[in-house]
Structure 1
Amino acid sequence: MTFREHCQRLDTEALLGHLRLDLRDDAKAVVMQLLAARGVTPATIEQVLADQAARDADAFAESERMASLGERMLAFGIDFAAWLLAAACLLGTRDGETAALPASSFEVLSWTYLLLRDAGPGLSPGKRLLGLRVVRASDEGPISLPSSILRNATHLIFILDALFILGERRRRLGDKLARTIVLRAAAIGAGIPPAACPPAQQNP
């Protein structure tokens, strides 16, 4: 089946969708001819292409605001290194001295930190160093203590949790359950329409 024959079997909406693809000039000419034969005006075609270009630009801008997979992995690595350092300082013994903190108490502190580290402005050293922040997906505000607990409790199923980060908006399972997203701190609020912002945040 030739490309023309394939296109002739498509409805008009699907044909317009083909124009959004990166077609070769000869293939694009075929689509344009078929659309013209169906009475689709050049103005309609231009509007479809302009709308798609605007959506692509918005999607790119949103992607630039989100923390990348590499940044999130590095932030987690920094947090883990900080935890190891704390463990060495608080649990280690030398010259017959007892540990500064009992293992059971350190475990409680570790879990408390893990579960609450993203609440408010965030306490994660990795995210702070890399300029990242966990915010509510709805309005990009600071997340609550319950949301932080729900978001981080999924680390118990780390592999399954991490697989979700490859999906929409790079949200792992914990993000989806807690309705959060990880953004670059400098870009927080940039994706919210002015009408949705408090009056003090709107441009004059």
Structure 2
Amino acid sequence: MTFREKCQGLETEELLNKLRLGLVEGAQAIVLEVLKERGVSDATIERVLASEAARQEEEAHQQARMASQGIRLLAFGLDFVAATLVLGLLTALLQPIAGAAEPIVLALWWGYMLLRDAIPGGSLGKHLLKLRVVRIPGERRMTLGASFFRNLTHAFFLIDALFILGERRMRLGDMLAGTIVLRRDAPGARTPLAASPPAP
């Protein structure tokens, strides 16, 4: 079966999605021909191609602004140490008053570590190192749910950390929550965070 025959057997929406895959020139020409045979307008095709070009440009821009593995690990270390110090201090202060205060303080520690990326301005470590976590696509603001799922994978720290060595610098938690870590001081980083993803 030729590539053209395969294309003719696909739904129109599936063909439009193929245009978003960055096909080689010859394959793209065949997809365009089949779409035009079906009466798909030039405006629709141009809109799909333009949205894909915009997505690729946004992704390249984000990659250039992403935080390095070392700086991200340092931010995590600062958060961990700060939360643990506060944990110890609270335990010492509450012990005479509440008796067994450890469960309460431990719950507060876990609450901070799991939800810290949804704090306005970022967690202590990320604030000090000028980092921010955003949801993709569109660099949307973090939610409590996204922060929870992103940080839940710290329970498997070594496995989770291995993923950050990949080309996209996304650990397992980032993949699960659909997030990336950007440098606040990188060029173009002052763009306001979007309330919602860009229209497809």
Same fold (TM over 0.5): yes
SS at structure 2 position matched to 1:148: helix
Give the aligned partner of residue 106 of structure 1: 105
For CA contacts below 8 A with separation 6 or more, give which structure has more relative contact order: 2
Looking at structure 2, the residues matched to 164 and 138 of structure 1 have their Cα atoms a distance apart, in angstroms, of: 20
Matches within 5 A, 1:52-201: 62-92=62-92, 97=96, 102-119=101-118, 121-186=120-185, 187-188=188-189
Contact 1:75–1:127 (Cα < 8 Å) also in 2:
yes
How big is the shift at 1:69? Answer: 0.9
How big is the shift at 1:123? Answer: 4.0
Q: Cα–Cα, structure 1 residues 189 and 104, in superposed 2: closer, same or farther, change >3 Å?
A: same
Looking at structure 1, the residues matched to 161 and 75 of structure 2 have their Cα atoms a distance apart, in angstroms, of: 14
Equivalent AA in structure 2 for residue 170 of structure 1:
R
Q: TM-score, normalised by structure 2?
A: 0.59
How big is the shift at 1:99? Answer: 7.4
Equivalent AA in structure 1 for residue 90 of structure 2:
L
How big is the shift at 1:144? Answer: 1.2
How big is the shift at 1:188? Answer: 3.4
Q: Cα–Cα, structure 1 residues 132 and 107, in superposed 2: closer, same or farther, change >3 Å?
A: same
Rg larger in 1 or in 2?
1
How big is the shift at 1:145? Answer: 1.1
Looking at structure 2, the residues matched to 111 and 77 of structure 1 have their Cα atoms a distance apart, in angstroms, of: 15
Q: Cα–Cα, structure 1 residues 81 and 143, in superposed 2: closer, same or farther, change >3 Å?
A: same
Contact 2:161–2:171 (Cα < 8 Å) also in 1:
yes
Looking at structure 2, the residues matched to 170 and 197 of structure 1 have their Cα atoms a distance apart, in angstroms, of: 23
SS at structure 2 position matched to 1:142: coil
Equivalent AA in structure 1 for residue 169 of structure 2:
R
How big is the shift at 1:112? Answer: 1.0
Equivalent AA in structure 2 for residue 92 of structure 1:
A
**% same residue:** 48
Q: TM-score, normalised by structure 1?
A: 0.57
| Deviation per residue, 1:41-71 (Å, 9 max, x gap) | xxxxxxxxxxxxxxxx998864430011111
Give the aligned partner of residue 49 of structure 2: none
Number of aligned residue pairs: 137
**Residue ranges of structure 1 left out of the alignment (5+ in a row):** 1-12, 14-56, 199-204
Contact 1:91–1:99 (Cα < 8 Å) also in 2:
no
How big is the shift at 1:111? Answer: 1.2
Looking at structure 1, the residues matched to 102 and 163 of structure 2 have their Cα atoms a distance apart, in angstroms, of: 33
Q: Cα–Cα, structure 1 residues 179 and 60, in superposed 2: closer, same or farther, change >3 Å?
A: closer
Looking at structure 1, the residues matched to 148 and 189 of structure 2 have their Cα atoms a distance apart, in angstroms, of: 22
SS at structure 2 position matched to 1:169: coil
The worse-fitting range, judged by mean Cα deviation, of 101-110 and 172-181 is 101-110
